[in-house]
A and B are shown apart, each in its own frame.
Chain A
């Protein structure tokens, strides 16, 4: 069964450093998303991406965040200068149709120290 894959599974970084989280969405999907989940809390929307541009973003997704689809298979989330409060699980998701039935990856646990 096709699945969304994310790498790395766990990333530890120093405050102020840049991180890139990587995702390979399901191959025939056209809509891509990043969500995050702080430990013990609900899943929060960060950004959605379609046709090589951002279609929606949340207040969390400020100038420190960016997304890119560098080739036909990868979808990345970059955090330019990490803060302690960026520590969370980051989930990539993809869907065939806009905004519905999104399939999630297993997540990247980001720890900022």
Chain B
């Protein structure tokens, strides 16, 4: 039978603008968070990660912000490029866990 996918939130940005992708988590025991980028037909690609003892971490053109008080994570992409178009997933893990629990994902569309 036909499978019905989730209707993912979509963020459309103009090339060169900054993008902010948000993620809420519910497990207060989670202490490790990671962002993945997934292009069509490919596996998730690691972008950046952060532990709960930090509230900000920067990479090349990307920044992850963690607000443990409201259980919120965000990924900021500076100067967004067409090649950034993809689905972005946040994932979390607990201190002694050995699995990543993925969020639903956000579609990022970059307009040229």
The reply to whether A42 and B98 contact each other, CB–CB distance below 8 Å, is: no
- When A31-B98, A99-B98 are in contact, do A104 and B45 touch as well, CB less than 8 Å? yes
Interface residue? B79 (CB, 8 A): no
Residues of A in contact with B, size category: 20 to 34
A 95-113 binary contact with B (CB < 8 Å = 1; else 0): 0001111111111000000
Q: How many residues of B contact A (CB 8 A)?
A: 28
The reply to whether A42 and B104 contact each other, CB–CB distance below 8 Å, is: yes
The reply to whether A101 and B46 contact each other, CB–CB distance below 8 Å, is: yes
Q: Nearest chain B CB to A14's CB is how many angstroms away?
A: 17
Interface residues of B (CB under 8 A from A): 1, 3-6, 32, 34, 36, 38, 42-46, 49, 89, 91, 93-94, 97-105
The reply to whether A103 and B97 contact each other, CB–CB distance below 8 Å, is: no
CA distance A111 to B46 in the complex (A): 26
- When A91-B43, A100-B49, A104-B43 are in contact, do A43 and B34 touch as well, CB less than 8 Å? no
Interface residues of A (CB under 8 A from B): 4, 31, 33, 35, 38-45, 48, 50, 55-56, 58, 84, 91, 98-107
The reply to whether B102 and A42 contact each other, CB–CB distance below 8 Å, is: yes
The reply to whether B102 and A44 contact each other, CB–CB distance below 8 Å, is: yes
The reply to whether B42 and A43 contact each other, CB–CB distance below 8 Å, is: no
Q: Nearest chain B CB to A82's CB is how many angstroms away?
A: 16
CB contacts (< 8 Å) of A42 on chain B: these are: 6, 89, 102-105
